[in-house]
Amino acid sequence: MIEFLSRRLAAALVTLALATVVVFAVVEVLPGDPALIMLGTDARPDTLAAIRAQYGFDQPLLTRYLQWIGGLLTFDLGNSHAYGTSVGKLIGDRLQVTLPLGALALSWALLVAIPLGVFAAWKHGGPGDWGVMGLTQIGISIPNFWFGIVLVLLFAVTWQFFPAGGFPGWRQDTLGSVYALILPALSLSLGEIAILTRVTRSAMLDTLREDYIRTARAKGVPERTVLFEHALRNALIPVMTVTGLIAGFLIAGAVIIESVFRLPGVGQLVYDSINNRDLIVIKNVVILFTILVLAVNLLVDLAYALLDPRPRISA
Amino acid sequence: MSAFLARARRHVGFQIGAVLLALFVGTALVSLVWTPHAVDDLQMRAKLLPSSAKYLLGTDHLGRDVLSRIMVGAQTSIAVGLIAVALGMSAGVMLGAWAAARGGWVDEALSRTSDLIFAFPAVLIAILITSVLGASAQNAILAIAIFNVPVFARVTRGAALSMWGRDFVRAATAMGQGPLGITLRHVLPNIASVLIVQATIQFAVAILAEAGLSYLGLGAQPPVPSWGRMLRDAQTYVFQAPELAVWPGLAIATAVLGLNMLGDGLRDLLDPRLRLLRVG
């Protein structure tokens, strides 16, 4: 198990290293002169020179790259061009909104999807199964940001149960902050619920065909125990894999959902940084998202190793 | 073909998908020659009107007819989605088929590269590209296409590898045919159905992605009508004209639902054992 996990960790680090090269190339090499991107083509030559000196754009490429990597390793990400404050602090503050939002959406998705998937597999071929599958088809097809807007229409405009957007801040109003995240988390989880329900259903259908399930049923084990203890334990392995895959998309989906609900999270920071042409923030946020995606996938691998006693050498 | 049609006639999901897709494509085609009002006809005195006989779905914040804009918006969705998927598919199929034919380091390098692109969610690729190159429909197409390359590369590689193990391909190898000839003559024709099904699903994913990007202002720029952009504008007026936020979303959901149902139906009809890659 240790060997399996260390292999996966090594692979993730290689991916991360490659990702830094790609992001660096796209943000700092592809545009030619990053200072020109940040200030616009009508900028005066002396301000351009000042920006180049401030961010080290006048240094050789390799030096710039190594300086950035060194900064990443020591959590010194430099200063934002638009905000004038430390990028590390900027991202840290915004994560206090995005991480709870993602966690809330993912827990909610699992909480809904697993029982729904088990139910559909149990009723395989019947109207219950058809109904659940039809709902997942619709769930995959609805854009989550539109679902968010519809939730605002219903629960903030028509019946004023929830705020239409904004975020009071954890320290100022903890309960209000939780409240402000409920509609966004619901919208963010829509597609994930649909996908996880389908995966749970098909994994359950595969396990329910196994001999040991037939044996358990023949021995008279109650159906609920067969479904939730014997079958679900094995069906959870593919569910975990897909959860890892979609966690990344959940983080990216947050960019749009935060825009719908005007939440001051990392997604909103990315959006503002595009408009401000703040390349320093963009490159660091993209790497941060990549680290999050890789970290979630490593956690999934760990869960894998715990759920499945057979150590997986190559996956 | 007639056997396929006979089975298609019994597959309800496939039929619903086909009808929804026909509605989507038909709307775009009709809008090429006719819309109820001119798309860019600004009537500042007629802004934010509710549905009426003159404006079936009402008017937006600039007094433009919403129905006309939704009809033309279908063109934008189809153009962006179709070009992006076609580009991503061409590159992905070529790379995947190459990896399957060559094996060894080519295969290893391509697989690792596609893992790398998968580690970046599509929206982030789009954000990176548009932050450097600027927001436009072309750059949205580029971003969606890049995301599609590893999807098709993986599907093609997997399907092609299983073909390379088959007897008729081995026979062709033994007869001295080269890898390119075998790929073109034997491998690709036999995995076409997998690719068609995947392309249908990716078209749906691309329409969702385009809507999301243009909602963020990173897709087609005004005055080109796009469904995502209409939703962004509608949100500003959600208290005055809530129904403005309903129609473009319904249009997106209908188009995507149609393609998803058609894709799932095609999979059932062409090859029920097939497992799709579904990421978006």
- Average pLDDT, rounded, for chain B: 87
Cα(B220)–Cα(B211) distance, rounded to whole angstroms?
A: 10
pLDDT at position B216 over 70? yes
Chain segment A203-244, per-residue pLDDT in tens: 999 888 888 888 988 898 888 888 888 888 888 888 888 887
Decide if A144 contacts A190 (C-beta within 8 A).
yes
| Cα separation, A125 vs A128, whole angstroms | 8
Q: What are phi and psi of A149, to 5 degrees?
A: -65, -40
Kindly give the confidence (pLDDT) of every residue in chain A, 315 residues in length, as a single tens digit, with 9 standing for 90 and above. Answer: 778 788 888 888 888 888 898 888 888 777 667 777 777 777 788 888 887 777 777 788 888 888 888 888 888 888 887 788 888 899 999 999 999 999 999 999 999 999 999 999 999 988 999 999 999 999 999 999 999 999 998 998 888 888 888 888 888 888 889 999 999 999 999 999 999 999 999 999 988 888 888 898 889 888 888 888 888 888 888 888 888 778 777 877 888 899 999 999 988 888 888 777 788 888 888 888 888 888 887 887 787 777 766 544 444
Contact list in B for residue A27 (CB cut-off 8 A) is: 128, 131-132
What pLDDT score does B275 carry? 54
User: Which is nearest to B93 in space by CA: B17, B229, B168, B196?
Assistant: B196
Which residue spans within B53-201 are E strands per DSSP? none
Over its C-alpha atoms, chain B yields an Rg (Å, rounded) of 22
Contact check, Cβ <8 Å, A19/B116: yes
Coil/strand/helix, residue B23? helix
Please list the helix, strand and coil fractions of chain A in percent, rounded to the nearest 5, in that order. 80, 0, 20
CB contact (8 A) between residue B116 and residue A15: yes
Which of A23, A143, A152 is opposite residue B211, by nearest beta carbon?
A143
| Sign of the CA dihedral with A159 first, then A260, A189, and A178 last | negative
Return residue ranges of chain A for CATH 1.10.3720.10.
87-314
Tell whether B130 lies on the interface with A, counting CB pairs under 8 A: yes
Closest among B55, B56, B38 to B46, alpha carbons compared: B55
Helices A87-122 and A279-307, packing angle to 10 deg:
40
From residue B73, give the alpha-carbon distance in Å to each of B80, B82, B228, B243.
11, 14, 9, 17
Q: What is the pLDDT of residues B239-277, one digit of tens each?
A: 888 888 899 999 999 999 999 999 989 988 887 565 555
- Interchain CB distance below 8 Å, A150 and B245: yes
A25 contacts chain B (CB < 8 A): no
Q: Does B251 touch chain A (CB under 8 A)?
A: no
**Most B-contacting residue of A38, A146, A201 (CB-CB within 10 A), to test interface:** A146
pLDDT at A309: 60
In a 3-state reduction of DSSP, which class is residue B226?
coil
Q: Do B116 and A22 make contact, defined as CB atoms within 8 angstroms?
A: yes
**Burial of A224 from C-beta contacts in 10 A (0-12 / 13-18 / 19+):** exposed
Out of A30, A146, A256, whose CB is closest to B216?
A256
pLDDT in the model for residue A314:
44
A140 → closest Cβ in B112, B252, B260:
B260
**Element of type H or E holding A292:** helix A279-307
Q: In angstroms, what separates the C-alpha of B175 from chain A's closest C-alpha?
A: 36
Closest CA to B52 of B62, B42, B37: B37
Tell me if chain B has a CB within 8 Å of the CB of A298.
no
Q: How many CB atoms lie within 10 A of CB A301?
A: 22
Interchain contact, B128 vs A286, CB within 8 Å: yes
Q: Work out the number of other CB atoms within 10 angstroms of the CB of residue A3.
A: 9
Q: What is the pLDDT of residues B64-74, one digit of tens each?
A: 888 999 999 99
ipTM of the complex: 0.87
Q: Report the CATH architecture of A87-314.
A: Orthogonal Bundle (1.10)
Taking the C-alpha atoms of residue B262 and residue B227, their distance in angstroms, rounded to an integer, is: 22
pTM for this model (two decimals): 0.87
Q: How many helices (H) and strands (E) does chain A have?
A: 13, 0
**HEC letters along A79-140:** ECCCCCCEHHHHHHHHHHHHHHHHHHHHHHHHHHHHHHHHHHHHCCCCHHHHHHHHHHHHHH
Residue type for position A154 = L
Contact (Cβ atoms closer than 8 angstroms) between residue A257 and residue A187: yes
Helix (H) or strand (E) holding B158: helix B137-164
CA A82 to chain centre: 26
Query: Which residue of B115, B218, B235 is the best one to mutate when testing the A interface, meaning the one whose CB has the most A CBs within 10 A?
Result: B235
Beta partners for residue B65, in sequence order: B59
For residue B155, what is the enclosing H or E element? helix B137-164
End-to-end CA distance of chain B: 32
Q: How far is CA A308 from CA A238, A243, A301, B160, in A?
A: 11, 16, 10, 30
